Amino acid sequence: MKSLQEIAAQLEGYDPQALSAAAANDFLLRLVEPVRDLESVTIFESLGRVLAQDVVSPISVPPHDNSAMDGFAFDGAQLAQRETLTLEVAGTALAGKAWQGTVHGGQCVKIMTGAIMPPGLDTVVPQEFVSAQAAGDAGAARISFPSKLLRPGDNRRLKGEDLREGEPALQAGTRLTPAACGLLASLGLPSVRVHRRLRIAYFSTGDEILSLGETPREGAVYDSNRYTVHGLVQRLDCEFIDMGVVRDDPSSLEAAFRQAAAQADAIITSGGVSVGEADYTKAMMKKLGDVAFWKIAMRPGRPMAVGRIGSSVLFGLPGNPVAVMVTFLAFVRPALLRMMGSTQAQAPLLKARSAEAIRKKAGRTEYQRGVVNRAPDGTLEVRITGNQGSGVLSSMVQANGLIVLGHDQGNVAAGDAVDVMMFEGAI
């Protein structure tokens, strides 16, 4: 575990008073480590969790060559022989068991989707392509179809075409999606080893902050940050330890930080970290931990406290509701993903055409709330959602992503391409 000073020494030009968003991310990814405790969970419980070991396929999927369609299986070499192929139906192969008969030239087997391909047969003509002649005095049932409709091997799924026995199916560090859960189940695995869930303790600070149910009073606002952070933490499948609103007095803050550090892998707070804060939050962080106070070259956001209290990582977020969400998405989320054991890169930013000009100062990263739509010409277009004040949550609700205007970028002209961090999955 490196101290903040050691990390700072590794970063060229580290200036806590004017930190670029990229440098802040870089710092945080050096500060945190993947949680070491592992556990086994069932596949139902594994969604959103992070695999702790590589999964090697114990079987081939599918386990045998099988039909991809309801139709008739036959030897595809016969396609080249006639313009219209007429085949005698020798029997029926059902899904779930192997057909036991034998097939001669000029014969086929009626086959259901998923049924094992009878030996020697490699092609399936779908039911809807054939004209059928029922069995009768003239002999067995027959089917006919134009040969040009098919090529040898059509409509057959090969053994192991999804996964071959002994091949790596999923790598350690993969965050399990619905598709990955299905894949694990297709291998017949009842459970998997994952990193244990992170425990995240959260409290809001500030004497003006009301908890739900409290009577409104002049100068006070309801605590919204606790609910946005709760939602953001839930989306990461971490455990949320709700510590409420903590009063701005040294003994309450000290007790809260100590209790949080004793229980949680990470402590997230909001409020009380800006310059010139009259409260005790910063002083208590400094007293109890190894903490740096940053001014990040970004908007909204800017002040943030990071470090450790005991063995817990501390993310002291600003108080403004939108700044909380933006700093969470930009810095806390990538750091938590690493702590969860995930090795996956962040979702790629989308490029969309800005529908309007945006004023932007070079030298800081700006995150604007935007709505991405498909323009009539089929391209992606993004429009800013109204009031961009750092306390205005309603424009965050309307947005489906954040327009990310990079550190060096200046003004954006209407029609320029901009980067967008889509909310889907994170919010």
Question: Strand pairing partners for 67?
Answer: 156
Stretch that binds ligand AMP, among 115-123, 204-212, 343-351, 402-410 (CB under 6 A): 204-212
Is residue 321 within 8 Å of 341, Cβ to Cβ? Answer: no
Of the residues 76, 206, 301, 370, which one makes contact with ligand AMP according to CB under 6 A: 206
For 43-141, strand residue ranges (E) read: 55-56, 66-67, 71-74, 84-93, 107-111, 123-126, 131-133
| Pick 67 or 269: Cβ nearer ligand AMP | 269
- Continuous segment of H or E residues that includes residue 246: strand 239-246
d(CA 145, CA 166): 40
Residues 263-282 that bind ligand AMP (CB under 6 A): 270-272, 274, 277
Phi first, then psi, for residue 175 (nearest 5°) are -85, 125
Is residue 295 within 8 Å of 19, Cβ to Cβ? Answer: yes
Least distance between ligand AMP and beta carbon 267 (Å): 15
Distances (CA, A) of 420 to 327, 328, 347: 15, 16, 11
| Pick 237 or 277: Cβ nearer ligand AMP | 277
Stretch that binds ligand AMP, among 88-96, 97-105, 313-321, 333-341 (CB under 6 A): 313-321
Q: DSSP 3-state assignment of 183?
A: helix
Find which of Mg ion, ligand AMP, none residue 48 binds, CB within 5 to 8 Å per kind. none
Three-point CA angle 212, 426, 357, nearest 5°: 100
Stretch that binds ligand AMP, among 80-88, 93-101, 172-180, 223-231 (CB under 6 A): 223-231
Regarding beta strands 123-126 and 71-74, do their DSSP bridges make them parallel or antiparallel, or are they unpaired?
Answer: antiparallel
Query: How many chain residues bind Mg ion (CB under 5 A)?
Result: 3
| Pick 162 or 208: Cβ nearer ligand AMP | 208
Q: Does 204 bind ligand AMP (CB under 6 A)?
A: yes
Residues 160-219 that bind Mg ion (CB under 5 A): 206
Distances (CA, A) of 49 to 28, 52, 339: 21, 9, 12
Question: Strand pairing partners for 305?
Answer: 293, 316
| Pick 391 or 415: Cβ nearer ligand AMP | 391
Least distance between ligand AMP and beta carbon 317 (Å): 8
Nearest to 178 by CA among 54, 357, 370, 48: 48
Of the residues 301, 318, 341, 370, which one makes contact with ligand AMP according to CB under 6 A: 318
| Pick 19 or 229: Cβ nearer ligand AMP | 229
| Pick 227 or 423: Cβ nearer ligand AMP | 227
Stretch that binds ligand AMP, among 94-102, 217-225, 231-239, 342-350 (CB under 6 A): 217-225
| Pick 209 or 326: Cβ nearer ligand AMP | 209
Least distance between Mg ion and beta carbon 248 (Å): 8
Which residues of the chain form contacts with ligand AMP (CB under 6 A)? 204, 206, 208-209, 221, 223-225, 270-272, 274, 277, 318-321
